C-alpha cells in the first residue's frame, strides 16, 4: 500500500493504526507520520472519552446526551480520513493540536 492509503487506514480503529504503522514504518513520508500521530491521538482520546462517558452514564440520568458525545470520535475519524485522502496535514478539531509534536517513536 502507498502512504496515502496507509494514512487513511490508520484512522480505522486501533487495528488499522497498527497495520499502517508496521506496513509503512520503513517507507513513511511526512504525510503518513503526521496522520499516524493524529490517529493515535484519536485512539487515546477515544479511550479516555468512553471511560468518562461510562462514568457519567452511571451517575446521571442524561443517557441520551451522554450517548451523543460518544459519536464524536467517529466524526473526528471521518474528518481525519478526508484530510488523509486529500493529502492535507491538518490537525483534527478539538484534539489535533495536542498530538502534533507527540509520539516521537513515529518520527
CA–CA distances in Å: residue 87 to residues 25, 29, 33, 62, 90: 18, 11, 12, 39, 9
State residue 84's pLDDT score: 95
pLDDT digits (tens, 9 = 90+) for 23-36: 988 887 889 999 99
Helical spans, DSSP H, in the chain: 3-9, 13-24, 30-59, 63-69, 72-85
pLDDT tens digits along 42-53: 999 999 998 888
- Measured CA to CA, the distance from residue 52 to residue 46 in angstroms comes to 10
Q: Is the pTM of this model over 0.85?
A: yes
Checking if the pLDDT of 78 tops 90, the result is yes
- Least confident interval from 16-20, 60-64, 76-80, 84-88: 60-64
Buried b (16+ CB within 10 A) or exposed e, 69-98: eeebbeebbebbbebbeeeeeebbeebbee
Spatial CA neighbour of 43 closest among 54, 32, 35, 33: 35
Q: Tell me how long the chain is.
A: 107
Percent of the chain clearing pLDDT 70 (strictly above): 97
Amino acid at each position: 500500500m502507498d502512504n496515502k492509503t496507509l494514512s487513511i487506514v490508520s484512522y480505522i480503529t486501533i487495528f488499522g493504526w497498527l497495520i499502517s504503522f508496521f506496513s509503512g514504518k520503513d517507507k513513511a513520508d511526512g504525510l503518513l507520520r503526521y496522520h499516524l500521530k493524529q490517529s493515535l491521538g484519536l485512539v487515546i482520546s477515544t479511550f479516555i472519552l468512553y471511560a468518562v462517558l461510562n462514568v457519567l452514564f452511571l451517575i446521571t440520568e442524561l443517557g441520551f446526551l451522554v450517548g451523543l458525545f460518544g459519536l464524536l470520535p467517529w466524526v473526528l475519524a471521518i474528518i481525519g480520513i478526508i484530510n488523509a485522502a486529500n493529502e492535507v496535514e491538518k490537525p483534527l478539531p478539538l484534539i489535533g493540536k495536542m498530538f502534533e509534536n507527540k509520539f516521537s517513536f513515529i518520527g
